[in-house]
Amino acid sequence: RLTLEIERRVYSLLNKPRGVLTTNYDPAGRPRVVDIMKGVTQRLFSVGRLDQDSEGLLLLTNDGELANKLAHPRYEVPKTYVVQVAGRPTAEDMAKMRKGVYLSEGRVAVDNVRKVGTRGRSMLLEVVLSEGRNREIRRLLARLGHKVMRLQRTAIGPISDRNLQPGEYRKLRPEEVEALRKPARKSRPPHKKSPAAHP
């Protein structure tokens, strides 16, 4: 008798520490997200990468359909970041970020940006981005003359968790999975032509 085993769906939220890679393979042997997810036997996809120097919330799932929808620019799932930048970006700088700044591949803009605090000679910004090109936030701020000192993703769509410590992960609650499916069902034509990548 032939039996087909249906793989159980896994939806996990990880607080990725700085210095950890989202790739499943690294010949240099650096720490990876999959090394943190001990006891998980399913092959998981990361939804929207975070580069090695970035930290914060990362969604991991073996639901390929949902992962593709959430990562695709046309679905415009907002992701929220707290960014510590050297210097003090002005209101004009932030207006330029909203309006768009030209990088090598074209105009890049954020959904919203606001000041949330200061730390010494640096400033803390909250940046909301629906479409992430490769290291977009870092490159955008560098073009305006401000180096990113720290970049932390604090929310993916409606999902956030301030109690999740770096290196910790938890299963998403059923209502959180359903909340992620809702924006994935509503798509709009892409206004920029670019693949989803890590900011």
Note the pLDDT tens digit of each residue in 136-152. Answer: 899 999 999 999 999 99
According to the model, what pLDDT value does residue 188 have?
47
Q: Is the pLDDT of residue 192 over 60?
A: no
Q: Is the pLDDT of residue 183 over 80?
A: no
Pairing assessment for the beta strands 169-171 and 101-103 based on DSSP bridges:
unpaired
Give pLDDT, residue 115: 97
Mean pLDDT on 172-182:
91
**Strand pairing category for 101-103 and 11-16:** unpaired
- Given this model, what pLDDT does residue 29 score? 82
Interhelix angle 64-71/174-185, nearest 10 degrees: 50
What phi and psi values does residue 67 have, to the nearest 5 degrees?
-60, -45
| Angle, alpha carbons 79-81-82 (nearest 5°) | 165
Mean pLDDT of 108-123: 95
51 is a catalytic site residue: yes
Per residue in 27-51, pLDDT (tens digit) is: 888 888 888 888 777 888 888 788 8
Q: What is the largest CA-CA distance in the chain?
A: 69
- What Cα–Cα distance (Å) separates residue 120 from each residue in 81, 86, 123, 124, 165? 20, 9, 8, 10, 24
CB 44 within 8 A of CB 59: no
Q: Active site residue: 51, 53, 93, 161, which one?
A: 51
User: Would you state the structure tokens that stand for residue 9, as one six-digit string?
Assistant: 């769906």
